[in-house]
Chain A
Amino acid sequence: MRHKSSKLFKLLSILIFLSCVYYLFPQSDRTDEPLRFFKNRSSVLAKALHPKVESPSKSEINNPFSRLARTELIKIYRQEDADFEILYSPQIKIVQELKTCFIAQVKSGYSSNLSQAGFKFEHLDDDVKNKKYYLVFCPASKDVETLKYYGDVKLIEENLALFWSDNKEAREILPANFQIKRLPSEALHSSKKRSLVLSEGLHPTIKLPSRFAINPAILDIVNQVSKQNLTDYIQTLQDFQTRFASTSNCELAGDYIYDFFIQSGIDAEYDSFSFRSSYSSNNIVGTVEGQVYPSQIVVICAHYDSISDQPYTLAPGADDNASGTAAVMEAARIFANQSFDFTVKFICFSAEEWGLYGSEDFAREARQRGEDIIAVINLDMIAYTDSIPEDLDIISNQASEWLADRFFSTTISYTTLDISKIVNPAFIWSDHSSFWDRGYSAILGIEDIYISNPYYHTTGDTIDTLNLDFITEAAKASLATAADLAQPISTPQTPTGFTSRSQIISSLFSSIKTAFLDWDSNQDPVIGYNIYRTNTSHSDYQKLNSSPLAQTYYMDQNLDPDTPYYYVLTAVDSLGNQSNYSKEVVDDEGNESTNSVEGRAPSKNMLRTILAIRKINPWI
């Protein structure tokens, strides 16, 4: 008996010893070991947990598509539980964000890694070489069948199809009633601040912000909006007969807008671009430079080109989009006599009807130049009312929701217009979409998200079909929002030189962040400064200090290291008057320009926060 128990103990001791030795090996050496035992049963699970992603070479990182024999076009479904880091692989180029998916170019054969990472995807086309792709709005089920007559079609999601016909321009082969957007060939812009996959759901309801205190300067701007002027602009634009991009009349319409900007007293320029390899056209850009932060830009824009079923001879485009253009021209006329903290650009784009060529060119170059465009208000079809009272639909993506809310606040403060806010990143049928692609906040103002104008893209789209009271209110709301964003000069003066840097302080299991803010001393006599902070850019600012700060610096401690914090600053004079907000800074904005003691990669947790794909709720 004793002999038996002795053997048992020996066996037990050997087993325990071996298990100790096994587990004392470094973690990385045995990562796959436990899975080996289950491999026969659940090899799929094992692969999903540990996808072996091919590491790119250095040259590939610089130019990932350089050695590709073939590049496929695929549709990647948004999925909460997938290993989203693979989307940032150099072999994958996401070119379009939509409601339920992304469209991406991917190296041939690489797409299998997506399924290993847990993504569902679908092949759209095997080789993108020498093809022009377009996204086409297909509200009716028969639209897809119609498209098939002209070329290849893949239904991407509800009401949206991908269309291509080799290298042909869709605008030249498709009927005029189709809304199109050329599929970008460049990867979407993403950054810490504006991540392309950061989607927190689609909110059809409006977050009701409080009514703003009326700013007399903005009220004065709103009161200057003239219904007669708007009517005149629309009539003049309609009188060009057609403004179809590629026609000489379109260029004449561009000259008219350019001359108008000059006569109004603002700087104006032609921004030329080419499309369809042989055509060129001009965006017309007017600028009122900001007095305090000229590098911060607010854009109010509309496309001035038009289309109809007879585009080369008659395309009056009164609603689409002389109406939006008229509002931009009226803004330029009124803003020319005002001074703002931030720069305001008035842009009339061309070739929108060809697939957003003008705005795509402008937004891409703005991003390349590193322009800090705070907000884009795009107006497209704001004068037709199918019912009274009509409301203006404000369309935004998730990153631009703050701007839609801001538009709502200023509208209820300064006008009698009704607003509907719609968050839908798949509504890409106007120039705001080009700015979304480049990571800027942008909204679209449109009379109805689903086209209600029976004269849409026809020769019947004339001024006599429009509701000029509605466009006047829509223009007032747009100008009020643009002025509110650009901030008419205040007393005391808006503080300048506002910068922020942040550092992360860590223990073994916890980290905190400290933000160091500093700014220039105000020229005007002030008693101090107020600091405001928010977690969501441009909205919900909370004051941090109880009484005005006498010094020109502030240290904000004990912050969550994985959360970006945005700050603005105001100056306070002896009468208690508060200046406009300074430009907004994010806590680590100044980090890059300062030599760090030690560079470290961001933590996985931080990366997850940046890239997190949240579950998308069904859209209205």
Chain B
Amino acid sequence: MNKMKILTRNISLRISVCLFLVLLFFWRPSYLFSDSFKLPVSISFSFGYFQPKEKAFKDLYGNSNSQLVFNIRYVLMENLSIYSGLRYLSCNGETKIAGPEFQEEKYNLKFTMYSIPFALIYSHSFKNIHPFLGGGISYNIYREKWDQFDISFEDKNLGFFLVAGVEYFIGKRFSLLGRTQFSSIPTKKGSTLDENVNLGGTEFCLGLSFYF
């Protein structure tokens, strides 16, 4: 009975979110999209890959991993804006043997990380092209789980990043987005493989922005 309730609640929540998005994008009240009215807000979705800077991370999960980024940006003034959002990184890997190795022994790993950035962006416009540069902090929640054993590690850490990119406007409200980000997320935690893991690295993303 309880399970049913939880399921119903989850479905309701998802439907509500979908409805909100549909309304946001497709329900276009004329006043909102008229030339005279412009909200200082934009949202963007981007997809790309993440290249970790930590050797241990590369050894375990590979050199690059895909990620999904959602950002919401608020224009403070002509060239200055702030943004926040959500970044989702998920990758699968395999354990490594640290030290003497006597027999091949590997276990499957899954790593997921959610990052919430807060950044200040300076942008400049050259006709349709708007390059931008900024930096900020991120709040990161991550989890590493072993498949074969009941071993998992969860933690939260602050990180710092620099971001640069360019937007190419393909309409009044839409722009193509390309961005790169250099981040540092020192965890001060680790394992025999590496005692102080830094979850930062370089990100390259392409996406679409929408200006309200």
Q: Which A residues contact B (CB, under 8 angstroms)?
A: 6, 9-10, 12-13, 16-17, 20-21, 23-24, 27, 501, 503-512, 514, 516, 558, 561, 591, 594, 596-600, 603-606
Contacts of A598 in B (CB 8 A): 97, 99-101
Q: 9 pairs across A/B with beta carbons < 8 Å?
A: A16-B135, A24-B160, A27-B196, A504-B99, A506-B56, A507-B193, A508-B60, A597-B97, A598-B101
In the assembled complex, which residues on chain A have CB atoms less than 8 Å from the CB atom of B187? 509
Q: How far is the CB of A17 from chain B (nearest CB, A)?
A: 5
Once bound together, how far apart are the Cα atoms of A229 and B201, in whole Å? 80
* Main SS at interface, chain A: mixed
- Determine which of A21, A558, A599 lies in contact with B149 in the assembled complex, contact meaning CB atoms within 8 Å: A558
| Chain A: minimal CB distance from B51 (Å) | 16
* Complex interface residues of chain B between 24 and 65 (CB less than 8 A to chain A): 54, 56-57, 60
Residues of chain B with a CB closer than 8 A to A503's CB: 97, 99-103, 105
**How far is B189's CA from A506's CA once the two chains are assembled, in angstroms?**
13
Minimum distance in angstroms from A297 CB to a CB of chain B: 28
Whether A596 pairs with B100 at a CB distance below 8 angstroms is: yes
Bound-state Cα–Cα, A218 to B106, Å: 48
Q: Check B164 for interface membership: any CB of A closer than 8 A.
A: no
| Contacting pair A512 B149 (CB below 8 A) | yes
Residues in chain B near residue A506, CB distance under 8 A: 56, 95-98, 191-193
Excluding A24-B160, A503-B99, A597-B100, 8 further A-B contacts by CB distance (< 8 Å) are A23-B184, A507-B93, A507-B95, A510-B152, A512-B149, A512-B151, A561-B192, A599-B100
Proximity string of chain B (155-185) to chain A, C-beta cutoff 8 Å, 1 when within and 0 when not: 1000011100000000000000000001010
Number of interface residues of B (CB under 8 A): 52
Partner of B136, one of A20, A603, A604: A20
| CB of B164 to closest CB in A, whole Å | 12
Chain A proximity mask over B64-80: 1 for CB below 8 Å, otherwise 0: 00000000000011001
- Tell me if A508 and B77 are in contact (CB < 8 A): no
Contact of A20 among B93, B161, B195 (CB under 8 A): B161
A507 & B135 in contact (Cβ 8 Å cutoff): no
The interface residues of chain B lying within 8 Å CB-to-CB of A605 are: 192, 195
CA distance A558 to B146 in the complex (A): 11
Q: Which residues of B contact A16 (CB under 8 A)?
A: 120, 135-136
Contacts of B80 in A (CB 8 A): 9-10, 13
Q: Which residues of B contact A20 (CB under 8 A)?
A: 135-137, 160-162
Q: Which of B122, B137, B162, B189 contacts A509 (CB 8 A)?
A: B189
- In the complex, the answer to whether B96 meets A509 with C-beta atoms within 8 Å is no
Q: Chain B contacts of A13 at CB under 8 A?
A: 80, 120, 122
The residue in chain A whose Cβ has the minimal distance to the Cβ of B200 is A24
Given known pairs A17-B120, A503-B103, the reply for A508 and B191 (CB within 8 Å) is: yes
Q: Which residues of A contact B155 (CB under 8 A)?
A: 509
Q: Top 9 A-B pairs ranked by shortest CB distance?
A: A596-B100, A20-B135, A509-B153, A506-B193, A597-B101, A23-B160, A511-B192, A511-B191, A506-B98
CB distance from A66 to the nearest CB of B (A): 32
CB distance from A14 to the nearest CB of B (A): 9
Task: Tell whether A603 pairs with B101 under 8 Å between CB atoms, given A20-B162, A21-B135, A508-B56.
Answer: no
Instruction: Find out whether the CB atom of A594 lies under 8 angstroms from the CB atom of B100.
Output: yes
Interface centre among A20, A23, A501, A509 (most CB of B within 10 A): A509
**Whole-angstrom CA separation of A139 from B73 in the bound complex:** 79
Give the docked Cα–Cα distance between A263 and B195 (Å). 61
Knowing A9-B76, A507-B146 are in contact, say whether A501-B102 is a contact too (CB < 8 A).
yes
CA distance A605 to B151 in the complex (A): 18
Contact A508/B190 with A9-B80, A21-B135, A597-B101 known, Cβ cut-off 8 Å: yes
Kindly list chain A residues whose C-beta atoms are within 8 Å of the C-beta of B57: 508
Residues on A with beta carbons closer than 8 Å to the beta carbon of B60? 507-508
Contact residue among A9, A10, A27 (Cβ-Cβ distance under 8 Å from B186): A27
